[in-house]
Amino acid sequence: MRAGSPRLLREINDRAAIDALLRNGPLTRSELEGIIGLSKPATAQLLTRLEAQDIVRRDGLRGGGRGPRAQLWAVNGGLAHVAAVDLTPDSVDVAIADISGATLTEHHALMPKGTDVLAVFNEAMGKAASDANLQVSDLHHVVVGSPGAVDPATGQLGFAPHLPGWEGFDVVGRLHDMLGTSVTVENDVNLVALEEMITGRAVDVRDFVLVWPVDAVGSAVVINRVLLRGATGGAGEVDWMRVPDLSRQDTGIDRAGTRYGDLLSNSSVTKLARSHGISARHALGAVTKALSQGTAGREFLTDLARRIAVGVANVVSVVDPELVLLSGEVAQAGGSMLCELVAAELRRLVIPRTPVELALVAGHAVRAGAMHSALAVVREEVFGLPANDMLPPLHQIRR
């Protein structure tokens, strides 16, 4: 055995133990021993070593009754902290967690029209950090999920005219300077796709397309468990595709072609709903009503599915994925019926018989994906744990 090998083996075993504790939460020595495959003495020495370095800490006892209670061990969460942000035209939604993944605080702030968006963002970050008894500069990494895409060459946010105040400058560099810590800005739908790979419907899927239909239209393309980004970061920005309107009802849309995002905007979908006798203030309400209105409701949903499918067909024709996932509030409201209708329309348009399913991750999906991304970056920096293959190469767009 070459010189230095024992040290290398210790480092490998240490990383394996830290990884096991991060994945499983607090463990007893014997539980950790079973996971990493070391002997009882070697595991005990490992824990002593990591405790001396303040990497792991004792975390209560497990057991009870007549038997002995075993000491639990956990990663010291205070070693580093991260923030995950879901940025929309209307709000800033922040969560802060320690390196173990434990959420310390959540903060939601509105983004009124005409305001200084950077000032509002900075104030929201400061409030969230304060609630977690931290300074913003204490955060080791911040991942911001936003509409549009960051050009890795310039740091500028593109494809996001509906996010006023955020275009025309190096947004990554500006946030880095303002917050005093490293920042990644990632497309929001890409982060939802990431979360689907980690905890959702795509855990065991290698190639898939995730589509966020209606209103803020977007998609993410995953090939061999890696997000497709494109030269300027704009891969998946289907909002800008020009497509025909295949719905049966004529609502004034140019039949020769219009922007996919315009075809599925809130106003366009509610207008389509009204043409079927369904009145609603927004697309979500229209879809919710349609599900309870029999034939008229199904006809509207079928027309909506035609509009969704015409854009999805373009992506499926090029990528030929295993699966198409529909995500977002409107997709969740439409549920399995909308998925079935989109799949049926898709089969009329393309040769692949790609299944269409509802994304599993709901709620704060963008923020959850941002949190997993931020934790992957910091755990690599602090512990030397390699980022999981499914995570996007965030270091390529960091400043």
pLDDT of residue 391: 54
pLDDT confidence bin for 2, thresholds 50/70/90: very low
Same domain for 10 and 35:
yes
Same domain for 319 and 269:
yes
Its pTM surpasses 0.85: yes
Is 291 inside any structural domain? yes
Rounded to whole angstroms, what are the CA distances from 74 to 23, 42, 61, 102? 11, 18, 11, 12
Is 197 inside any structural domain? no
pLDDT of residue 28: 96
Same domain for 186 and 213:
no
Same domain for 61 and 101:
no
Same domain for 318 and 209:
yes
Rounded to whole angstroms, what are the CA distances from 364 to 29, 90, 187, 191? 35, 15, 15, 11
The CATH number covering residue 127 comes to: 3.30.420.40
CA–CA separation, 330 and 59 (whole Å): 43
The CATH number covering residue 43 comes to: 1.10.10.10
pLDDT tens digits, one per residue of 281-329: 999 999 999 999 988 899 999 999 999 999 999 999 999 999 999 999 9
Same domain for 268 and 148:
no
CA–CA separation, 20 and 240 (whole Å): 43
Same domain for 322 and 228:
yes
Same domain for 167 and 86:
yes
Tokens of 168: 């025309």
Beta strands in 188-322 (DSSP E): 208-212, 218-223, 226-227, 242-243, 258-259
Give the range among 55-59, 71-75, 124-128, 157-161 with minimum mean pLDDT.
157-161
Is 244 inside any structural domain? yes
Name beta bridge partners: 61.
71
The number of distinct structural domains making up the chain is 3
Give the range among 109-118, 124-133, 373-382 with minimum mean pLDDT.
109-118
Whole domain around residue 175: which residue ranges? 79-192+364-397
Q: Which of 75, 92, 122 is the last residue before a domain boundary?
A: 75
Q: Which of 75, 94, 117 is the last residue before a domain boundary?
A: 75
Same domain for 269 and 187:
no
Give the mean model confidence (pLDDT) for residues 326-349. 96
Dihedral sign (CA 279, 280, 286, 292): negative
